[in-house]
Amino acid sequence: MGATVSCCMSPGGSPKLARRAVELDDYPITTTGDDVSEDTGTYLQHISDREVPDELAQESNPSDNARASTIFLNKSQTDVREKRRSNYLSNHHTSPGLSKKYSSCSTIFLDDSTVSLPNLKSTVKCVTLAIYYHIKNRDSNRSLDIFDEKIHPLTREKVPEDYYSVDPEHKLIYRFVRTLFSSAQLTAECAIVTLVYLERLLTYAEMDICPCNWKRIVLGAILLASKVWDDQAVWNVDYCQILKDITVEDMNEMERHFLELLQFNINVPASVYAKYYFDLRSLADDNNLNFPLEPLDNQRATKLEAISRLCEDKYKDLGKVTIRRSLSADNLVGVRTTHAVLS
């Protein structure tokens, strides 16, 4: 294919080939220094030089790839290093007290937060702290009109003059998110998915979360996460009962734009969810937002044992269902093998 002489066609068999040869002579192929073929002398550009596959683009996106580092954890490292340096200088000549509980041989301290059932209050605090670092350490002020509170205000009350230029404090962000979660009765898992959608929006749309748009971005992420995660999702009109001055039409338009900017990618793999959960715990440890620790007593130990048995039975049943005609090493959960008798 592509040669002027082949087993199926003679050189003069088609006038199109002659016209094509003349056109190629009129427009010779230019060559560059290194990428020149020894046989033909022409420059052959590889397909990878012309376009980047979507798989490579998703590898650097933490909301799609579990191996990529979360954006909020990277943005918080500068402040964490400064806090550690200041704490070291302030406690260099004094003996600091133990502010954190540690387990011993006689007492074991555990919190009630797990990756499958996180603590609601602590998770919301960590998520709002991640949003705070996103705003504080943003690269620029790129935004879209649909999320701009100057164009689409959430309240009719007069806001301070510096409201759109001063970074909000962590307490203000936490109060806003806590009001939505408590009024809509959302779960802690929904808070983690909200952060995943928020970082996916910032990556896909190439925008920043800043003082003029953080409320509408967070509201859109919570709205979408509650519909995807919870079985009984909160309707848009219900959020209008929480935020009195916003209309249903505005909520619908914001949700539609949010989905379009996400390219309708609302999938959150389990590995990505687990990565965000543990990175939020690391963020909490770096900022002294420790999850509430309680000593392990008989009642809590029995509860943990029951949960472990429930999960173990669940995976055993799953392994039995997946086994059909043949067995593999991945499906040998709960399978009994017979001992060989050697004579």
pLDDT in tens, the chain (343 residues): 444 444 444 444 444 444 444 444 444 444 444 444 444 455 555 544 444 445 545 567 899 999 999 999 999 988 777 766 665 556 554 445 445 666 667 677 777 777 888 889 999 999 999 999 999 999 999 999 999 998 998 888 887 778 888 999 999 999 999 999 999 999 999 999 999 999 999 999 999 999 999 999 999 999 999 999 887 778 888 888 899 889 999 999 999 999 999 999 999 999 999 999 999 999 998 888 877 667 777 887 787 778 778 777 766 665 555 444 444 444 545 545 545 444 4
Q: What was the pLDDT predicted at 9?
A: 46
pLDDT of residue 16: 42
Cα 169 to Cα 178: distance, rounded to the nearest angstrom: 14
Q: Cα separations (Å) of 291 from 62, 107, 109, 281?
A: 24, 17, 11, 8
Contact of 190 with 222, CB cutoff 8 Å: yes
d(CA 129, CA 147): 20
| Through-space distance between the first and last CA atoms of the chain, rounded to whole angstroms | 67
pLDDT at 43: 53
What is d(CA 33, CA 35) in angstroms, rounded to the nearest whole number? 6
Residue (of 193, 123, 135) closest to 164 by Cα position = 135
Task: Specify the pLDDT at position 297.
Answer: 78
- Strand segments, DSSP code E, in the chain are 109-111, 293-295
CA distance 270 to 274: 6
- Give the predicted TM-score (pTM) of the model: 0.69
pLDDT at 29: 42
